[in-house]
Amino acid sequence: MDEVKDLAAQPLKKRIFSGIQPSGIITLGNYIGAIKNWVELQRDYECLYCVVDLHAITVRQEPAELRRRTFEAIALYVACGIDPEKSTIFVQSHVPAHAELAWVLGCYTGFGELSRMTQFKDKSQKHSDNINSGLFTYPVLMASDILLYQANLVPVGIDQKQHIELTRDVALRFNSVYGDVFTIPEPYIKETGMKINSLTDPTKKMSKSDPNPSSYIAVIENRDDTIRKIKRAVTDSDSVIKHAPGKDGINNLMSIYSCFTGKSFEEIEKEFAGKGYGDFKAAVGETCADGLENVRSEYARLIKDKAYIESIMKSGAEKAFYMSRKTLSKVYKKVGFYHV
């Protein structure tokens, strides 16, 4: 029995875990900062990609919408190129060990550590009418997601770096008391695209829960909307296409362009030398819409196939359930819970 456990804890390929909240329509920021990298990493890693619905309820959600978005997010993962034959795709609430481990890890996480989390500070300002304890302990649940599967690497945008550092601290603390229970995970954050900013306020992160749809590109919106939103994106008053401090709007559009074309900022500056913002924005809009074209048509096909999407959820949850139980039983044993 112990041998089986050890095999599950040490896979041949290194393991990856990541997730997105079904808290809104998935944006270009989520795509570039997370999903695009997930697709590439599938080749060399054993990957688990989750729709983290337990996290989403830290902010009030309309139940029918949450349910619909969870379904849509799974379809979008597949449409983007996550292969259900290679990777485990599942919904967080389908695997009870996430919440169970979160309770245990909460007892090894300091109030002071959680108080320093910038996402908590931001979100409690934005939702001052609902500063619930789930919002505060959110990073403990995220640590459980990652540690349950003994993940080595966690591909995310830069905004999640602090949460991964906390995950490492909690895992090291737990291991120092009980021995090597958890793998210590590393963040995987790509320099270009680690923070795509809002199109209406380029000093802020593009966010799917932004109430203004002009601030984000939805991965599945139509081509004309994408082109129009980029055309109207806020930029500064000079008209030189150059990556420079203070030019947040242009820097942001250059990052988007770079992510789809693979061109460096210098190459982009050369390409648009002598041209104005109008030409540049049109090129970014077209390139972005082209880059999302396949995802959009694949999504339109998949979203109609309820039985297929639900079968992915079910088999993903089964695999994740089995893997998660290994770690949870080990943790329960280590802390001294009675087993019969």
Contacts with ligand ATP by CB under 6 A lie at 20-21, 23-24, 27, 29-30, 32-34, 156-157, 159-160, 194-196, 205-209
Residue of 156, 217, 256, 331 that binds ligand LTN (CB under 6 A): 156
53 binds ligand LTN (CB under 6 A): no
Question: Among ligand LTN, ligand ATP, none, what binds residue 208 when CB lies within 5 to 8 Å by partner kind?
Answer: ligand ATP
247 binds ligand LTN (CB under 6 A): no
Residue of 28, 147, 154, 206 that binds ligand LTN (CB under 6 A): 154
**Other Cβ atoms closer than 10 A to 112:** 7
How far is the first Cα of the chain from the last one, in angstroms, to the nearest whole number?
16
The continuous run of DSSP H or E covering 273 comes out as: none
Helix (H/G/I), strand (E/B), else coil: 11: coil
CA angle centred on 331, ends 328 and 333, rounded to 5°: 110
Q: Which lies closer to ligand ATP via its Cβ, residue 198 or residue 324?
A: 198
205 is catalytic: yes
Question: Among ligand ATP, ligand LTN, none, what binds residue 142 when CB lies within 5 to 8 Å by partner kind?
Answer: ligand LTN
Residue that is written with structure tokens 């074309």 in the block: 261
CA neighbor of 145 nearest in space, from 103, 99, 197, 208: 99
Minimum Å distance from CB 306 to ligand LTN?
Answer: 25
Q: How far is CA 193 from CA 86, 271, 272, 312, in A?
A: 25, 20, 20, 29
Of the residues 5, 161, 205, 326, which is catalytic?
A: 205
- The answer for 276, left when phi > 0, alpha when psi is -120 to 50, beta otherwise, is beta
Of the residues 123, 229, 247, 326, which is catalytic?
A: 123
5 is catalytic: no
Catalytic residues: 123, 205, 208
Per CB under 6 A, residues contacting ligand LTN are: 17-19, 21, 52, 55, 142, 145-146, 154, 156, 160, 163
